[in-house]
Chains A and B, each alone.
Chain A
Amino acid sequence: MEMPTLTQIVFYSCAGLAVLSALVVILHPNAVRSALFLVLTLFAVAVLYVLLNAQFIAAVQVIVYAGAVMVLFLFVIMLLNAGQTLEGFKKPVRKIIGGIFGLIMLGHIMSIAWVATVINAKPNPDTMATQDMVAQAGHSELLGMALFSKYIYPFEAISVLLLMAIIGSVILAKRKL
């Protein structure tokens, strides 16, 4: 039996951590614990991004998701005092049916994921990034070049979306308009 490489050790430990903590997220009755385990899942996925040579995406994942979004979640949970259990065991039949449908969905996607391959990959010359290019120029530089040249209009549109989200959330959460 051959020794596992470092990449394999990192991948399988992070994948296992992500799956286990994701299971805790949906199974734990306390919403605060669910939020904290979701942070763990997001961190494990960020490690996998580094493994896939996507360092900038990994940094954004930690800063935006594990940082900003999860702080927002925890604030709302504590603001509404919604941390305590409200599930109960009144209707277990719904959990069973939901679990069955979730497993069917999982099996369906898995059957595709198991055999998926990249055929006839012809990367766009504007956004091509081989491993050598990433090692030489740096990941953020390549991403920034693509973002500010080919994808400049989506990039501007997303700023309008963020402005709308700010205004919308302030208006929705306001006590009286």
Chain B
Amino acid sequence: MIGLNEYLILAAVLFGIGVTGVLTRRNAIVIFMSIELMLNSVNLTFVAFSRFMDSLDGQIFVFFIMTVAAAEVAVGLAIIIAIFRNKKTVNVDDMNIMKW
């Protein structure tokens, strides 16, 4: 039998991989993918808790998180396209216009 802790540990590992991806990669699109990875690990935590607490609340949260993530991806990729049109790059090191 697989318990709650196995799922939580797997979600923690996926979240850690996502954080590492955001901190180490410089391609804005790959950073976006790492954020999706983190969102997914949190969803896994929600579903695991919902299963082991016999409640559907967690799964409804997951439903809303997925919707927000889809909206976020659409807007974020549009922003990346707009930046690429001005700067001709998706490297986050070159996007320093707001740096003081």
Interface residues of A (CB under 8 A from B): 5, 7-8, 11, 15, 18-19, 22-23, 25-26, 31, 34-35, 38, 41-42, 45, 48-49, 51-54, 56-57, 60-61, 64-65, 68-69, 72-73, 76-77, 79-80, 82, 86-87, 94-95, 97-99, 101-103, 105-106, 109-110, 112-118, 121, 123-124, 127-131, 142-143, 146-147, 151, 154, 158, 161-162, 164-166, 168-170, 172-173, 175
* Shortest Cβ distance from A146 into B: residue: B56
* Shortest Cβ distance from B11 into A: residue: A113
Which of B21, B74, B77 touches A166 (beta carbons < 8 Å)? B74
For the A-B complex, the count of residue pairs with Cβ-Cβ distances under 8 Å equals 245
CB pair B63 A11 closer than 8 Å: no
With contact pairs A161-B68, A165-B71, A165-B74 given, residues A175 and B9 touching in the complex (Cβ less than 8 Å) = no
Interface size class of B (residues with CB under 8 A): 35 or more
- Within the assembled complex, what's the spacing in Å between the Cα atoms of A75 and B72? 16
CB pair A76 B37 closer than 8 Å: no
Of B6, B10, B51, B62, most A-chain CB atoms within 10 Å: B10
Which of B16, B44, B66, B75 touches A165 (beta carbons < 8 Å)? B75
* Shortest Cβ distance from B89 into A: residue: A86
> What are 9 A-B pairs with beta-carbon distances under 8 A?
A25-B21, A42-B40, A48-B44, A87-B27, A102-B16, A106-B15, A127-B56, A127-B57, A128-B54
Prevailing SS type, chain B contact patch: helix
- Within the assembled complex, what's the spacing in Å between the Cα atoms of A93 and B66? 35
Of B43, B48, B57, most A-chain CB atoms within 10 Å: B57
Within 8 A of A (CB), among B63-93: 63-64, 66-75, 77-82, 84-85, 89-91
Q: Whole-angstrom distance from the CB of B28 to the nearest CB of chain A?
A: 8
| New A-B contacts (4) at CB < 8 Å, excluding given A129-B54, A146-B56 | A25-B37, A26-B18, A26-B34, A173-B81
CB pair A38 B5 closer than 8 Å: no
CB pair A5 B1 closer than 8 Å: yes
With contact pairs A38-B36, A165-B75 given, residues A124 and B60 touching in the complex (Cβ less than 8 Å) = no
Q: Sorted from nearest, which 9 A-B pairs have the closest CB atoms?
A: A106-B16, A102-B20, A98-B23, A26-B21, A165-B71, A113-B8, A123-B55, A172-B78, A98-B24
Contacts of B75 in A (CB 8 A): 165, 168-169, 172
CB pair B7 A158 closer than 8 Å: no
CB pair A128 B1 closer than 8 Å: no
Contacts of B12 in A (CB 8 A): 106, 109-110, 112-113
